[in-house]
């Protein structure tokens, strides 16, 4: 019984701490959209790493791939662009007006498309809130899912995609943005 009381106190204390952390410091008001706000924060933290990695790779290395079975760095950037547009269309409900890109387009066009895809995602996240998390959307393969699935997939993709970018950079003796010392 004593263990149960201690466990309850711990859980209630953790819940109280979490609720306090969700308050906005300037107004003291609780965030009405904690999921959407958290996803936005994650996207804003990952954006400089993903774009920075694309910018760090020299143009002549966009055709580089570590093994025959892996995609080229240019294909990876193309994939990130297309994934961002698809997922953020599902999140915000607006059709993107992006140009079609392909891995052979070269660094300048691919980096510009990558930046545009992040801008599109920012607008998509700004246009939604937590009341829409359960709305049905269409995911990859035509599968129906709640809108939050696209938001979670977006964050998971950034982790996966940036890890691949960092590996490609390191294999070319280039330090990834997240590993560089802050000035």
What confidence score (pLDDT) does residue 7 get? 32
What confidence score (pLDDT) does residue 181 get? 65
Helix (H, G, I), strand (E, B) or coil at 146: strand
pLDDT at 26 over 90: no
What is the pLDDT confidence band of residue 13, given thresholds at 50, 70 and 90? very low
What is the pLDDT confidence band of residue 62, given thresholds at 50, 70 and 90? very high
DSSP label of 174: -
Query: What would the mean pLDDT of 124-139 be, rounded to a whole number?
Result: 95
What confidence score (pLDDT) does residue 97 get? 82
Choice between 3 and 41, residue whose per-residue pLDDT is larger: 41
pLDDT tens per residue across span 76-94: 999 999 999 999 999 998 9
Cα separation, 91 vs 136, in Å, equals 10
What is the pLDDT confidence band of residue 28, given thresholds at 50, 70 and 90? low
Choice among 63-67, 94-98, 125-129 with the minimum mean pLDDT: 94-98
What confidence score (pLDDT) does residue 115 get? 96
Find residue 23's DSSP bridge partners.
Answer: 30
Cα separation, 102 vs 119, in Å, equals 19
Q: Tell me the whole-structure pTM to 2 decimals.
A: 0.81
Cα separation, 162 vs 43, in Å, equals 12
pLDDT at 156 over 70: yes
What confidence score (pLDDT) does residue 109 get? 96
pLDDT at 3 over 90: no
Mean pLDDT of the chain: 86
């Amino acid at each position: 019984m004593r263990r149960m009381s201690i466990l309850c106190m711990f859980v209630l204390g953790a819940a109280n701490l979490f609720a306090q952390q969700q308050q906005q410091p300037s107004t003291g008001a609780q965030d009405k959209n904690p999921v959407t706000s958290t996803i936005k924060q994650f996207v804003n933290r990952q954006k400089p790493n993903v774009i920075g990695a694309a910018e760090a790779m020299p143009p002549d290395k966009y055709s580089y791939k570590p093994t025959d079975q892996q995609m080229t760095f240019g294909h990876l950037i193309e994939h990130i662009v297309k994934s961002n547009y698809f997922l953020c269309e599902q999140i915000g409900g607006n059709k993107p007006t992006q140009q079609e890109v392909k891995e052979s387009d070269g660094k300048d066009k691919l980096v510009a498309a990558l930046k545009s895809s992040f801008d599109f995602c920012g607008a998509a996240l700004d246009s939604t809130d937590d009341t829409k998390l359960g709305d049905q959307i269409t995911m990859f393969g035509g599968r129906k899912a709640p809108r939050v699935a696209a938001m979670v997939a977006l964050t998971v993709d950034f982790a996966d995609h940036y890890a691949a970018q960092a590996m490609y950079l390191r294999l070319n003796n280039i330090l990834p943005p997240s590993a560089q010392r802050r000035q």
